[in-house]
Structure 1
Amino acid sequence: MSARLSARVRDALNLIAFVRQRGGRAHVRDIKQELGLAAARVRELIETATMAGRAPFGPDDLIDAYIERDWVHVDIALDFGRPIRLSRSEALALAIAMRALMGGGDLGHAAARALDKLRAAMSAGARDAVDAAETRVAFEGDDAGIAGRVARLRDAQRRCRAVDIEYYTASRDAMTRRRVRPYALIQHLGQWYLVGRDSLRRDVRMFKVERIKSVAVTDEAFDVPSGFKVERYRRSGKLLVGRVDEARVRFTGRAARVVREEWPPDSVEDAADGAVVGRLHFAALEGVADWLLAHGGDAEVLEPPELREAVARRARQALALYGDGA
């Protein structure tokens, strides 16, 4: 089958399914909006549809399709399913969810690929609606994607170039513009943080990347102070509030791959069977327990005992929702 004929058959099947979903009657305006098909194309597809059916291809076995006063009518006796199609609201919700997951690592890359496939499957009208919505929610969401912002910040850090950022401060509910010299990028419990000298505060500060609306790399060069060490900053507890404890966790499977790729090398030790043992710092016992539990059987707490018990307790609570907890 030629590419042209294949496209015609595909469009005809989509048209039939679309009209049948609406009770066998749909206006050409709605068809154009949802499927991106002009009226002339719809008439061509109607001709194709009327030649389709099932054996022995008698009058009652063919698809009955016609246009009357800009309304497309389809009547078919077969049990004719249609390809899965998302409504605009469903596509929008899924697209925003994919943006939220684009934070780097395996999950971020998978989300980016899934979003590309989703957009390719959308009609032109649906893509426009999603683009408009992403622009409106870029403040809270992810206009270019967290992964893209991380990539630009990493490039600026590597080349020792200052960046101009728009940053949202939750405590003041305000957006500010500032120039930052990026000294380091840190990933902590699934979140990215920028550490650098803030021109506004004239001091080294930490910024949550998901709150950065835009990043512009400048030509301003700088040198990282000799006394600044990223691991010293990570271990200083500035990422955490209150008492800081250390845990050792054995990761396997996909979690092991992510930890090996994303965590600082000196906090990861190779173990048997492709597993790794990672060291992490935490302040909220229950919070880190929830995060570890999300990895399922791919994360086993080795120490401290209180964190191991917290994970077990969370697991028992989850099981209790679906049975007797046994």
Structure 2
Amino acid sequence: MSASRTERLLNLLLALLNTELGLSRAVLREKVYRDDAGNDVAFGRMFERDKVDLRQFGFEIETITDRGFGEDDPASTRYRIGKEANRLPEVKLTSAECTVLMLAAQLWERAALGSAAVNAMRKLQAGGGFADVELPSGLQPRIKPAGQAFDDVVAAMHGQHPVSFGYLAGSTGREEYRVVEPWGLGSRFGQWYLVGLDRSRAAKRFFRLSRMTTAVTADTSGSFEPPVRFDARAELDTLNELPLQQAVLDVVPGRLLGLRKRAEAVPDGGAWPEGRDRLSLTFRDPEQLAEELASYGPNVHVAAPAELRTAVLRRLKAAAAFTAESPVPLDFPEAGPVPRARKRTSEEQLTRMLQLVPFLVHHQGLHIQDVADRFGVTRKELIEDLKILICSGLPEGYPDELLDIQWENDHVYISEHLDLNRPVRFSEDEAGALLTGLAMLGELPALAGMSGDVLESVTLKLTGAAGGAGRLAGSLAGQSVAPEDSRAFETITRAIRDGQQLRLRYFSLQRDSVSERDVDPLRLYSLDRTWYFEAYCHSKQGLRNFRLDRVDALEPNGGPVSGLAVAEEGYPAKLFTPSDDDTLVVLQLSRQGAGLADDYYAERSVLLPDGGMLAEVRFGSTDWLPMFVAQHGGAVRVLEPRTVGQATADWLSAALAQYAD
């Protein structure tokens, strides 16, 4: 959508909003389109496209036909937009409800519904019903769905389009091609599942996103109707948990301390040729455990069961095959911000402007930089928005029929809003992002101090405001974000609140060792149910991130925090803190693994023709990169430094050699 088209759509919207009797095509063509429309046929096509665009922005266009004439008679047909039907109902929230809702919205910060949640929150702020609040004790739960497949399935669910993908069938172990009507998406037993109609089998089926072997492709020319009142959570609850099994593992002596902590030694297990330690480990999901075991490479051999061994081998072989492919040209754009960030579109600009006008009505006199920060744009981009807005208005275009916005002395005021003073109603993905996020917060310890009715009351208010747009929420079922170890969570929360230092004993997976440290805790955050806390580590004299499930012991050491470091503003907190002393590594990512560029804060990246990506990432140590490559089984390989790439290939060969027989 070009800038001129953005202005035209905004003027068309204002014209249709500010008429009671409706406007005919002839009037709209003369007053809004003017000479841009060309001949009658071109104007007709342009007008129909614009009507579709306005509907996508949340505005239903009413068609009024004079009595005695048909709708196919353009001369007698008028158009208008009803004001109340398109507006978000007023939502009044308490401070506690605002806190809960902010946590729910920020769950999706780096997921497919992230932008939808941001837009929904801006609409609530624009409506004047949302107060600024602070999150409890620097807290931020987040979810990390299953990569690009999650994004693609959510988009197809929203548009009600069938999808196709390659799938590794659990029953046969073979890769199959599936065409599915995506009814719902949710998390169960720590995995994300798609539930829908498998067209080839004409039956409902569940598909684990981690078993998808190809990218998800939506058939935008096709459509389907999901079952009435479909409830993804109820469907996923019918899945039975996998039975307990015993893994028999042969481990290099003195290695894999974290694995040994969960396993039991098998007596007289040294019969394996290289004198390894034999361990027995209880597990349920072979695919989930295989991802971990593959990352250990030659340090572990899976003796049994066969299904687990096959899953580990599949990852190692895929990683080795991808590593052995011919290198691709390392052609990066000039240094600067990561170019993977999607270019801002005119659709986004118009969406922002429709939120900006009611926001300014309820927040008169804000500094222009404050407004830009609220909307996540630069000062220059905001001024471009304001320039378009002040040139937009009713068809006649008289001075008192234009939007009137001033920003003298860097403070923004609006005195004429032309009935854009209320935000547009929620879209399906906006309502779904907030309502699903609220459902995931139920067991979060940080909410325990609030009234038990807060979560329920804000959910009821949002459900009422969403109306029919809440349909998508029933198709999404997230998982609980409550931490596994609530005691450690509460100890850290209390230490952050009271400014206390902590003493912890911590297991490092990369170094395969245990250390003791004194730290200043700064904030808590999560990816799914894996919780981390960011802290200043006195032994390392820098910021570090610690996983709660790798903390062996944790208690206050009696001292106050030193104040040597503070948490950066905003989220997400970084799992890794790159520095200039780190090694610069060039990774090639498949389409399914492209999200790793964001996860590891790529400094530069560029898309490849096959949908994959080159990413330039800083790593403090390259020793663990073979583990990283093996874990992601064919989704990533190291191109530079070549010595690291060759070391990874040798490491994978050694891991595969264990299974040569």
Shared fold, TM over 0.5: no
**Which structure shows the higher helix fraction?**
1
TM-score (norm 1): 0.36
TM-score (norm 2): 0.20
Task: Indicate the structure whose relative CO is greater, using CA pairs within 8 Å and at least 6 residues apart.
Answer: 2
